[in-house]
């Protein structure tokens, strides 16, 4: 109880000291940053998963070729889940004497459960989001379907035995496919009209689906509960193909947020370690006095630990408030991305962040406090009497164990941790070596400079090890700030390139060879650049190296799906601009040898294919054997026609071939699409604008999140700089008092301190620029898959930032020491 009472009484006095405020700020920043990052990664992950579920128009889909019994609706309702029903089947639609094949989508009143349906009032007109579905007696039809039967909004189409009114052009539904297999345009109708239409009878080929949506936990519980009861005819799907671009954007954003959390944690750890070192050093005189009056080692340690806990609790409270405030601001900024019906973030990010901050205190501050117990009572009389330094193995072991455990718990990305920790340890070692070298040679440059510079450079040389430590602290702070700035800039620039305003926004599929010239002429007359027409051949893989694809074992489950599905093949003489060869070689432009194939990188990994493997395909009843010549990396974000398998020229000659194409059509040019589909009813035009808008929204909001969380790292970096300055503040106060007592003007003393900081800032800036360049190259390529280009301007920025930030931090932190009245300082000494 005496230790608690003494610790509480003295804690108020301690709060006025600079190193305690820095220690408190470091803990608060660690908690605030980890809380905000934890919130963002959790909520953005859920939001992206929710948007990925739009391809189902639900969170879970039960589908079957037979009508789904009503009992499954009841089971979903028992878990408080919403449901909708759909029937999907092909049928011929008539308008007078004209007819066309359509994909009929009959839906119930609650459709869709996720996402929105978009319609237009005219063919290829302005899109608008609608709630609900067509009333009974009405339909919404795809523009391509209306063009094929020469109909428009307001006309009637014969669907089965019904004559239904077209009230809107269907432009987008969440669960529509943009694959090459979906050649028939869609028609959306009310499921209540199905019995009167006569379209579904015994033996009809219909896809029945029950859509389910609700709270994530309820959906997961329902999905797990029904697995054992599902008949073979009923299949549950919780996610299908989603937008790679959206997922890539969100994944990169989450990686950057994790990177920010790691760096904020490391900077906070450095600030805590430096502040704790001075925190312990300044208490040596008090501890020596306590021990001379009879205090035991246990009492000394108990008081120090209690004060440390009080600091930790204060930092946790302040950091939690900062984290929750950041949550509110970021929730508002990301309101379009983060759905309002997502579950709240809850207390877990704050709990984990607070636990992390306390572990940092134990790992980085406790070793310095342990040293206090060995403070000799003789220090009351001799201030140079120092306790033995704590074991470096103990300090390093506790610190590294604390950081490794926290970082892995917070991020869970071993590769990121190895790159960052390894890089920072190497950079810190290099900074220390250079700092010692700087100290050793600084004295040689004192001649021939002014008084202020002589005083500043002398300070650097005289402090020796402390100056080297300051170079390390300044350099590490600048390194990670420059690193994050580079990666953030490259990340945002990469996203801007992804969002190329000239990217294709329409796909054309099912173009017959004899239609190419006519299609090209239609675009040419309309003043639109004629797109490239890419061949497409449908096929099935039958063997790999003579082994049946059905019996072969694959490295991943996706490999079995890849090998057994119906494949889209193409052939080309030149490599697409969105492709890159990563293994093997592309064939010459005039190649006329045996059939070769180039395989996409992930497809090769999933199926276990390597250069030289032989594959057999069945195309229209004919077998074709090809040899793997190369492995390609494909940029699926380009919205250009891309394929898993590309064959050499001549390999697919004589096979049934259609063509596909992608192009950009501005809104004012869209009437040409009506002319196109009416002249060529078999061609399907797919509007990608809805998908592009979704991707743009995710990327823009992810960019805001990245920039918002970047502020925490800036603050943590500044805390490190302040901690570095605070570590020598007592010496500066005494030196300033002595110089002013001997007649030096305050301006001269201040100029000398700024010269010292400028010298340290130049050294730290140069090394930080070098370290940040190397780390940024590794991080950009290995973690974000972004190209990295060396920027010589970084070195100028690094040096300028080093001098400016270090001098500014030094000015704010050392101002009080220089302004302190000399008589008070000398009396206290």
Q: What is the pLDDT of residues 94-104, one digit of tens each?
A: 998 888 888 89
* Helix or strand holding residue 344 (H, E): none
Residue 751 has pLDDT above 90, yes or no: no
The whole-number average pLDDT for the span 610-620 is 92
* Digit-coded pLDDT (tens) for 386-414: 555 555 555 556 666 666 666 666 556 66
* pLDDT at residue 172 in the model: 82
**CA 226 – CA 727 distance, rounded (Å):** 63
Query: Which of 670 and 603 is assigned the larger pLDDT?
Result: 603
Estimate to the nearest angstrom the gap between the alpha carbon of 134 and the chain centroid.
Answer: 39
Neighbouring CB atoms inside 10 A of 250's CB total 25
**CA 277 – CA 274 distance, rounded (Å):** 5
Tokens 């580079």 sit at which residue? 486
Q: What is the percentage of the chain residues whose pLDDT exceeds 90?
A: 15
* Helix or strand holding residue 368 (H, E): helix 366-370
My answer on whether omega of the bond before 112 falls inside 30° of 0, hence cis, is yes
Residue 711 has pLDDT above 50, yes or no: yes
Query: Which of 445 and 675 is assigned the larger pLDDT?
Result: 675
**CA 418 – CA 796 distance, rounded (Å):** 29
* Digit-coded pLDDT (tens) for 237-285: 765 444 455 556 556 666 666 666 677 677 667 767 766 776 676 677 6
Can you name the residues that pair with 600 across neighbouring β-strands? 632
* pLDDT at residue 241 in the model: 41
Nearest Cα neighbor of 480 from 265, 278, 662, 279 is 265
Q: What is the pTM of this model?
A: 0.58
Provide DSSP, 46-84.
HHHHHHHGGGTTSSEEEEESSPPPTHHHHHHHHTT-EEE
Q: Where are the alpha helices (DSSP H) in 499-636?
A: 516-525, 557-564, 601-607
Pairing of strands 117-120, 186-190: unpaired
| CB-based burial label for 152 (10 Å; 0-12, 13-18, 19+) | middle
Torsion sign, CA atoms 288, 292, 295, 297: positive
Query: Which of 624 and 36 is assigned the larger pLDDT?
Result: 624
* Digit-coded pLDDT (tens) for 441-498: 765 655 555 566 666 666 666 666 666 777 777 777 777 777 777 766 766 666 566 5
Give SS3 for 443. Answer: helix
CA distances from residue 158 to 86, 93, 198, 396, 678 in whole angstroms, order as listed? 20, 6, 12, 79, 19
Can you name the residues that pair with 60 across neighbouring β-strands? 212
Question: Two tokens at 116?
Answer: 């929105």
Residue 374 has pLDDT above 70, yes or no: no
Tokens 């994909």 sit at which residue? 103
* pLDDT at residue 109 in the model: 93
The whole-number average pLDDT for the span 4-31 is 67
pLDDT band at 181 (very low <50, low <70, confident <90, very high): very low
Give SS3 for 255. Answer: helix
- List of residues 6+ apart from 224 with CB closer than 8 A: none
Residue 637 has pLDDT above 70, yes or no: no
| CB-based burial label for 55 (10 Å; 0-12, 13-18, 19+) | buried
**CA 86 – CA 376 distance, rounded (Å):** 82
Greatest CA separation found in the chain?
A: 112
* Digit-coded pLDDT (tens) for 214-241: 887 888 888 888 877 777 677 777 654 4
Note every long-range contact of 398-402, with CB atoms under 8 Å and residues 24 or more positions apart, other chains counting: 398/362, 398/363, 398/364, 398/366, 398/367, 399/269, 399/273, 399/363, 399/364, 399/367, 401/363, 402/269, 402/359, 402/360, 402/362, 402/363, 402/364
The whole-number average pLDDT for the span 365-389 is 63
* Digit-coded pLDDT (tens) for 128-147: 889 889 999 999 998 878 88
pLDDT band at 634 (very low <50, low <70, confident <90, very high): confident
**CA 746 – CA 755 distance, rounded (Å):** 14
Estimate to the nearest angstrom the gap between the alpha carbon of 210 and the chain centroid.
Answer: 33
Neighbouring CB atoms inside 10 A of 153's CB total 18
The whole-number average pLDDT for the span 184-213 is 86
CA distances from residue 534 to 516, 562, 568, 585 in whole angstroms, order as listed? 10, 22, 12, 21
């Amino acid at each position: 109880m005496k230790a608690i009472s003494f610790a509480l009484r003295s804690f108020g006095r301690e709060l006025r000291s600079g190193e305690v405020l820095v220690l408190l700020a470091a803990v608060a920043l660690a908690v605030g940053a980890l809380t905000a990052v934890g919130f963002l990664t959790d909520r953005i992950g859920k939001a992206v998963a929710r948007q990925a579920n739009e391809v189902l128009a639900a969170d879970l889909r039960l589908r079957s070729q037979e009508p789904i019994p009503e009992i499954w609706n009841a089971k979903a309702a028992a878990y408080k889940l919403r449901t909708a029903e759909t029937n999907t089947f092909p049928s011929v639609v008539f308008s007078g004497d004209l007819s066309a094949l359509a994909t009929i989508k009959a839906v119930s009143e609650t459709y869709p459960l996720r996402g929105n349906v978009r319609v237009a009032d005219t063919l290829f007109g302005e899109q608008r989001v609608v709630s609900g579905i067509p009333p009974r007696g009405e339909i919404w039809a795809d523009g391509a379907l209306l063009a094929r039967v020469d109909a428009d909004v307001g006309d009637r189409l014969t669907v089965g035995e019904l004559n239904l009114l077209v009230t809107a052009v269907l432009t987008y539904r969440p669960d529509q496919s943009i694959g090459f297999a979906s050649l028939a345009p869609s028609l959306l109708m009310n499921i209540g009209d199905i019995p009167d239409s006569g379209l579904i009878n015994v033996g009809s080929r219909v896809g029945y689906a029950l859509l389910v949506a609700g709270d994530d936990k309820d959906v997961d519980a329902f999905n797990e509960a029904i697995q054992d009861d599902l008949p073979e005819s009923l299949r549950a799907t919780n996610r299908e193909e989603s937008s790679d671009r959206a997922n890539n954007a969100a994944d990169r954003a989450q990686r950057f947020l994790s990177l920010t959390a790691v760096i904020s944690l490391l900077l906070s750890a450095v600030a805590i370690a430096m502040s704790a070192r001075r925190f312990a050093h300044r208490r040596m005189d008090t501890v020596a006095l306590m021990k001379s009056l009879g205090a035991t080692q246990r009492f000394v340690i108990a008081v120090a630990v209690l004060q440390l806990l009080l600091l930790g609790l204060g930092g946790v409270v302040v950091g939690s408030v900062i984290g929750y405030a950041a949550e509110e601001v970021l929730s508002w900024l990301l309101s379009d991305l983060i759905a309002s019906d997502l579950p709240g973030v809850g207390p877990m990010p704050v709990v984990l962040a607070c636990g992390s901050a306390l572990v940092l205190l134990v790992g980085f501050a406790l070793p310095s406090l342990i040293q206090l117990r060995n403070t000799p009572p003789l220090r009351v009389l001799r201030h140079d009497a120092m306790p033995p330094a704590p074991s470096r193995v103990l300090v390093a072991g506790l610190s590294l164990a604390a950081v490794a455990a926290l970082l892995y718990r917070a991020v869970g990305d071993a590769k990121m941790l190895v790159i960052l920790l390894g890089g920072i340890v190497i950079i810190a070692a290099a900074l220390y070596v250079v700092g010692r070298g700087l100290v050793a040679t600084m004295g040689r440059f004192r001649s021939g400079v002014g008084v202020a510079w002589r005083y500043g450079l002398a300070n650097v040389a005289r402090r020796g090890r402390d100056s080297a430590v300051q170079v390390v602290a300044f350099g590490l702070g600048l390194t990670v700030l420059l690193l994050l700035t580079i990666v953030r800039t490259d990340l945002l620039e990469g996203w801007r390139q992804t969002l190329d305003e000239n990217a294709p926004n329409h796909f054309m599929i099912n173009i017959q060879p004899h239609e190419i010239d006519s299609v090209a002429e239609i675009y040419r007359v309309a003043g639109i650049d004629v797109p490239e027409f890419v061949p497409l051949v449908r096929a099935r893989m039958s063997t790999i190296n003579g082994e049946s694809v059905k019996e072969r074992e694959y490295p991943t489950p996706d490999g079995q799906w890849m090998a057994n599905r119906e494949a889209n093949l193409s052939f080309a003489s030149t490599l697409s601009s969105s492709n890159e060869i990563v293994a093997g070689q592309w064939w010459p432009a005039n190649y006329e040898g045996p059939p070769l194939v180039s395989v996409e990188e992930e497809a090769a990994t999933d199926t276990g294919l390597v250069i030289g493997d032989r594959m057999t395909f069945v195309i229209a009843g004919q077998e074709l054997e090809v040899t793997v010549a190369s492995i390609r990396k494909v940029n699926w974000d380009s919205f250009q026609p891309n394929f898993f398998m590309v064959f050499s020229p001549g390999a697919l000659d004589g096979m049934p071939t259609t063509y596909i194409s992608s192009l950009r059509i501005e809104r004012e040019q869209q009437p040409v699409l009506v002319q196109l589909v009416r002249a060529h009813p078999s061609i399907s035009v797919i509007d990608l604008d809805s998908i592009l808008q979704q991707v743009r929204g995710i990327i823009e909001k992810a960019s805001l999140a990245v920039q918002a969380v970047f502020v925490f790292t800036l603050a943590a970096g500044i805390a490190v700089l302040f901690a570095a300055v605070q570590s020598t503040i007592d010496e500066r106060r005494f030196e300033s008092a002595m110089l002013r007592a001997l007649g030096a003007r305050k301006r001269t003393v201040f100029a000398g301190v700024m010269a010292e900081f400028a010298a340290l800032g130049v050294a730290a800036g140069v090394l930080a620029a070098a370290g940040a360049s190397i780390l940024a190259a590794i991080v950009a390529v290995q973690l974000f898959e972004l190209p990295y280009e060396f920027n010589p301007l970084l070195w100028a920025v690094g040096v300028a930032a080093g001098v400016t930030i270090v001098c500014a931090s030094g000015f704010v932190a050392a101002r009080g020491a220089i302004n302190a009245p000399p008589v008070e300082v000398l009396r206290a000494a």
